[in-house]
Structure 1
Amino acid sequence: MGKFKVPHTLTLLFSMMVIAMIATWIVPQGFFATETLANGRAVVVPGTFALVEERSYLSPWQLLTAIPRAFAAAQDVIFFVMILGGVLAIARATGTVDALIGRLLERFGTKPHMLIFMVIFCFAMASSFIGTAGEYIPFVLILVALCKAMRLDAMTAVGMTVAGYGIGYGISAVNPFTLVIAQQIADIPILSGWEVRAAIFLPFVLIGFHHVWSYAKKVIADPNNSMVKDLPCPLGDKHSVNYPTLTLAHKLILGSFVLTIGIVAYNIRVNGWYLYELGAAFIAWGLFITLVGKVSVDTAAQKFIEGAMELTTTAILIGVARGISLILEDGQVLHSLVHGMSMPLSYVGAEAAAVGMLIIQTLLNFFIPSGSGQAYVTMPLMIPLSDLLEIPRQVAVLAYQFGDGFSNMIIPTNAILMGIIGIAGIPYGHWFRFCLPLMIKLMLAASVVLVLAVMFDYGNEEQPVEQQAMKNTATQIQTN
């Protein structure tokens, strides 16, 4: 019997679109009523789910038209990735990347474990505090090159990047795109409960570090243990030994890169910047490094085009990945899936229900890969359910954070993830095999935290006044 071969990532994603279309023929079609909040976002109204009067069927033709529509829906991510690829190609032409790698090798060449821990910790901190995600894409090729020079592989580079990103979102301290929105919907104080999240931050980071470092040690011991040994390196087969000296021009380019990231992070949080503005910021950085790096205009233009072309495959995967959720929305089964998954929780105990919320949020992130979008759809349903089961609302928010954040590391509908692994040249099947054990570890740890949170009434003092009064009255009646 021949060895099973994982399909090409594009084949896998298109197959998922077909399965999603078939699901729209089988799953009951329905929807919740929605209401518009002051910020203009729509949230579902609990208890209003209703089936459609007459089922409609998506045709294979609509499946095909969903692909170009998905490209249009994901255009901001697609063009940001291509712009980024072009600008980074100019940066590589200045020799800055090679000089940086040489300097980092001097510092960490014999301490790869320190590099892995620092990257995971710093990326997790940034995601936790300011919700960074797509901003990590520029670091991928730099980390791939650095890992290659340290006798590691591209999987290690992506592992430390995505582990930091996912854990940071899952154990968020003040993430404005997930935590703040979820707590607003739950009607509990914004940023409340931070003490517990701060306490569990390092243990979860250590879980991610242990997973990536355990794999990296095997690759160092024997390159044949690499999960990507059968794949070409995205940087080619060059094995540079003599790295250029880090000059003043290189330092200016690196400093401007850090400044660009800082400006972007600040404006994302304060002025609502997103991928259009991010793309413009990196174009400005590209113009700056062309000048400082003394790259001719024609050379810069050619390098930009080459860099963008290298990421064409990544852009295609991002577009098709968006098509899966688009099919479910068109087929009117997205709300049906949310409703069906939430119903069983009303029949189990509080501790089991909290873990059930985690599982549901994890599964729903496949269909609603936007963290804020998932909060607006699921939290209005989970909050009344948590009240019914006497689970503190803070626990429901924590379950949402865990489910959304950790699953970001593995769901193929996450455009940021597909961009990261695409740039690194790692097929989704290879990444899934690497990431699944980490997901299991994080989910088990998260389940333990949620059970303990229920047992110790985490966030009970932050319940809305009227809800706390109702609970006190119920307790008094039971006592009498």
Structure 2
Amino acid sequence: MGKFKVPHTLTLLFSMMVIAMIATWIVPQGFFATETMANGRAVVVPGTFSLVEERSYLTPWQLLTAIPRAFASAQDVIFFVMILGGVLAVARATGTVDALIGRLLERFGSRPQMLIFMVIFCFAMASSFIGTAGEYIPFVLILVALCKAMRLDAMTAVGMTVAGYGIGYGISAVNPFTLVIAQQIADIPILSGWELRAAIFLPFVLIGFHHVWSYAKKVAQDPNQSMVKDLPCPLGDKHAVDYPNLNWRHRLILGSFVLTIGVVAYNIRMNGWYLYELGAAFIAWGLFVVLVGNISTDTAAKKFIEGAMELTTTAVLIGVARGISLILEDGQILHSLVHGMSMPLSYVGSEVAAVGMLFIQTFLNFFIPSGSGQAYVTMPLMVPLSDLLEIPRQVAVLAYQFGDGFSNMIIPTNAILMGIIGIAGIPYGHWFRFCLPLMVKLMLASSVVLVLAVLFNYGADVQPADLPLQSAVSVAESVQPN
């Protein structure tokens, strides 16, 4: 028997769309009623699940039309990635990236473990506090080049990027896109329970660091141990030996880059900026780079187009990945999946149910990769369920955070992940083999934390005192067959 070969990422994603279409023929179709919150977002109403009166069947033609619709739905991420690719190509043309790599090699060339820890820790802090995700995409090629110069590989670069991103979201301190929304829906004080999240932040970061560094050490000792040794480096085969000095132009460009990231982070938090505004901010930075970098406008235009073209594959993967959840929504089985998985939790003990919530949130993140979107769909169901099982609502929020954040690192429907591995030239199958052991470690650690949180009544001090009975009635109604 020949060795099994993981199919191309595009083949894998399209196959998942086909499976999702077939699932809409089999899984009972139904939906919850929704109500609109003060912020304009819709949340499901517990106890209102009902099956559709007449099943509708998606056809292969609807599957095909879902692909261009998915591209339209994911256009903000797609164009943001292509704009970044173009702007970074302009920045590379000034020699700034090579000069930065040379400077970092001087400092960390003999201590790659310190570099890996710092990247994971800093990225996790940023994701935890301000919910950064797509902002890491500009760093990927820089880290790939740095790892290549340190005799590591692209997988190491992506590993430290994604580990920081996923762990930061999972152990979020004040993330406005996940934690704040979930606590609002749970009707508990915003940012409450931060002490436990702060206490477990470093241990979880160390889990991510240990996984990436263990792999990096093997690659440094024997390049044949690399999971991507059979793949071309996205930066080509050129090995730069003499890096340019970091002159005043390079320093000014780097300083303006940091300033741009700061402006973006501030406005995400204070003014609700997202990918359109982020793209505009990086275009502005690119124009500044052209001005300071002493390159002609024609050269800048050519480099921008080349950089955007390099990410065409990534853009296609992002669009098709969105199509999976689109098929499930069209087939009216998304709410059915949520309803069906929440029912068994009402028959088990509180400790087991808390861990069950983690696995349900992890599984549902495949179909609802948006953190805020998942909160609006699942938390209105998990909150009354936690009341029924005498689990503090704070624990239900924590289970949601773990499930959403950690699984962001591995689900192929996550557009940010597909963008990161696409830029680094890593097929999804290779990434899955690298990330799965880390996911297992994080899931085990988070399960232990949830069990202890239930045992020590984490969040009991902010639990609403007058709601459990009403919530229990809602859950009892919601699990009745329709």
Aligning the two structures, in what range does the TM-score lie when normalised by the shorter sequence? Answer: over 0.9
Q: 1:20 to 1:468 in 2, by over 3 A?
A: closer
Q: 1:470 to 1:78 in 2, by over 3 A?
A: closer
Q: 1:127 aligns to what?
A: 127
* 2:388–2:468 Cα contact (<8 Å) kept: no
Query: How do residues 199-218 of structure 1 correspond to structure 2 at under 5 angstroms?
Result: 199-218=199-218
Deviations 1:15-72 (A, max 9, x none): 0000000000000000000000010000000010000000000000000000000000
Distance in 1 (alpha carbons) for counterparts of 2:380 and 2:27: 22
Task: Answer yes or no: is 1:165 the counterpart of 2:200.
Answer: no
* 2:387–2:468 Cα contact (<8 Å) kept: no
Distance in 2 (alpha carbons) for counterparts of 1:148 and 1:367: 35
Q: 2:13 aligns to what?
A: 13
Distance in 1 (alpha carbons) for counterparts of 2:154 and 2:112: 14
Distance in 1 (alpha carbons) for counterparts of 2:394 and 2:276: 34
Write the letter of the residue equivalent to 1:340: G
Distance in 1 (alpha carbons) for counterparts of 2:434 and 2:232: 18
- CA positional deviation for 1:466: 1.4
- Matched residue SS, 1:466: coil
Q: 1:195 aligns to what?
A: 195
Q: 1:421 aligns to what?
A: 421
Distance in 1 (alpha carbons) for counterparts of 2:222 and 2:153: 11
Q: 1:305 aligns to what?
A: 305
- Matched residue SS, 1:140: helix
Task: Answer yes or no: is 1:391 the counterpart of 2:391.
Answer: yes
Distance in 2 (alpha carbons) for counterparts of 1:123 and 1:341: 33
Distance in 1 (alpha carbons) for counterparts of 2:196 and 2:56: 47
* 2:228–2:426 Cα contact (<8 Å) kept: yes
Q: 1:379 aligns to what?
A: 379
Q: 1:266 to 1:392 in 2, by over 3 A?
A: same
- CA positional deviation for 1:468: 7.3
Q: 1:318 aligns to what?
A: 318
Write the letter of the residue equivalent to 1:298: D
Q: Percent identity?
A: 90
Query: How do residues 146-295 of structure 1 correspond to structure 2 at under 5 angstroms?
Result: 146-295=146-295
Q: 1:106 aligns to what?
A: 106
Distance in 2 (alpha carbons) for counterparts of 1:261 and 1:343: 44
Aligned residue pairs, count: 471
- CA positional deviation for 1:410: 0.1
* Gap regions ≥5 residues in structure 1: 472-480
Write the letter of the residue equivalent to 1:428: Y
Distance in 2 (alpha carbons) for counterparts of 1:337 and 1:255: 48
Query: How do residues 48-59 of structure 1 correspond to structure 2 at under 5 angstroms?
Result: 48-59=48-59
- CA positional deviation for 1:469: 9.7
Instruction: Give me the TM-score of the superposition, normalised by structure 1.
Output: 0.97
Q: 1:118 aligns to what?
A: 118
Q: 2:439 aligns to what?
A: 439
Deviations 1:409-437 (A, max 9, x none): 00000000000000000000000000000
- Matched residue SS, 2:35: strand
* Gap regions ≥5 residues in structure 2: 472-482
Distance in 1 (alpha carbons) for counterparts of 2:252 and 2:465: 54
- Matched residue SS, 1:192: coil
- CA positional deviation for 1:467: 3.5
Question: Cα RMSD between the aligned structures?
Answer: 0.9
Task: Answer yes or no: is 1:94 the counterpart of 2:94.
Answer: yes
Q: 1:476 aligns to what?
A: none
Q: 1:363 aligns to what?
A: 363
Write the letter of the residue equivalent to 2:340: G
Q: 1:477 aligns to what?
A: none
- Matched residue SS, 2:466: helix
Write the letter of the residue equivalent to 2:278: L
Task: Answer yes or no: is 1:4 the counterpart of 2:38.
Answer: no
* 2:91–2:286 Cα contact (<8 Å) kept: yes
Instruction: Give me the TM-score of the superposition, normalised by structure 2.
Output: 0.97
Write the letter of the residue equivalent to 1:157: A
Q: 1:457 aligns to what?
A: 457
Q: 1:401 aligns to what?
A: 401
- CA positional deviation for 1:470: 9.2
Distance in 1 (alpha carbons) for counterparts of 2:305 and 2:253: 20
Q: 2:342 aligns to what?
A: 342
Distance in 2 (alpha carbons) for counterparts of 1:394 and 1:278: 32
- Matched residue SS, 1:465: coil
Distance in 1 (alpha carbons) for counterparts of 2:460 and 2:170: 21
Deviations 1:79-127 (A, max 9, x none): 0000000000000000000000000000000000000000000000000
Write the letter of the residue equivalent to 2:369: P
- CA positional deviation for 1:303: 0.1
Q: 1:10 to 1:470 in 2, by over 3 A?
A: closer
Distance in 2 (alpha carbons) for counterparts of 1:47 and 1:447: 28
Distance in 2 (alpha carbons) for counterparts of 1:404 and 1:214: 25
Structure 1 runs of 4+ aligned residues shifted over 3 Å read 467-471
Distance in 2 (alpha carbons) for counterparts of 1:398 and 1:452: 12
- CA positional deviation for 1:149: 0.1
Deviations 1:385-418 (A, max 9, x none): 0000000000000000000000000000000000
- CA positional deviation for 1:311: 0.1
- Matched residue SS, 1:35: strand
- Matched residue SS, 1:7: coil
Distance in 1 (alpha carbons) for counterparts of 2:106 and 2:134: 29
Write the letter of the residue equivalent to 2:61: W
Distance in 2 (alpha carbons) for counterparts of 1:450 and 1:231: 40
Distance in 1 (alpha carbons) for counterparts of 2:305 and 2:457: 56
Q: 1:140 aligns to what?
A: 140
* 2:86–2:306 Cα contact (<8 Å) kept: yes
Write the letter of the residue equivalent to 2:449: V
Distance in 1 (alpha carbons) for counterparts of 2:452 and 2:272: 36
* 2:384–2:468 Cα contact (<8 Å) kept: no
